[in-house]
Amino acid sequence: MSYQCKIEEKMSQPIVSIRTRTPVQELPRVIGEAYGTLMQYLGSSGKFPVGPAFAAYYNMDMQDLDVEMGFPVAESLPGKNTIVAGEMAAGKYASCVHVGPYDSVGPAYTALTQFVQEQGYEPTGVAYEVYLNDPDETPPEKLQTQILFPLK
């Protein structure tokens, strides 16, 4: 699969999220629980996400992933228990979209890493995955995942 990579400028975006550490084999369960907790919190607050769910990866240690799962929101909200309010920082991001199952996203990371190097940028080390459609409603081969690298 070939990837259309680009550099884009993003404005800051308020988010609510849960950050944890987990081995990769537990990731689907951990992500599902986090999104469920976040949706309950937002619903009880009378708020709704203003965009698709995301996961931010702060390392790539498959036995001890440092991952943050969240949703963009319209305004900063107070945290509660494991839920924190934050923001996706403004700045330059490299991006591409992977189409297919989540477990086949690796080539998109490779393509985006190469693109960033070719463009003369340096990634911050954080990688975002933005889940553009719902896996409960979309067959795996049609899932769309936007990969974002914030740039220094």
Tell me the pLDDT tens digit for each residue of 5-21: 999 999 999 999 999 99
Q: What distance in Å separates the CA atoms of residue 150 and residue 152, rounded to the nearest whole number?
A: 7
* pLDDT for 115: 97
* pLDDT for 34: 97
* pTM of the full structure: 0.93
* pLDDT for 131: 96
* pLDDT for 48: 94
* H/E stretch holding 71: strand 65-72
Tell me the pLDDT tens digit for each residue of 49-66: 999 999 999 998 989 999
As given in the structure block, the two tokens for residue 132 are: 């553009």
Q: Which domains does the chain have, with CATH numbers?
A: 6-150 (3.20.80.10)
CA distances from 8 to 19, 34, 71, 99, 145 (A): 25, 28, 20, 20, 16
3-state secondary structure of 124: coil
Closest to 149 in 3D by CA, of 126, 120, 119, 121: 126
* pLDDT for 135: 87
Residues counted in the chain: 152
Sheet order of strands, 13-22 included: 6-10, 91-99, 144-150, 127-131, 54-57, 65-72, 13-22, 84-88
* pLDDT for 92: 97
Residue numbers of the chain with a pLDDT score lower than 50: none
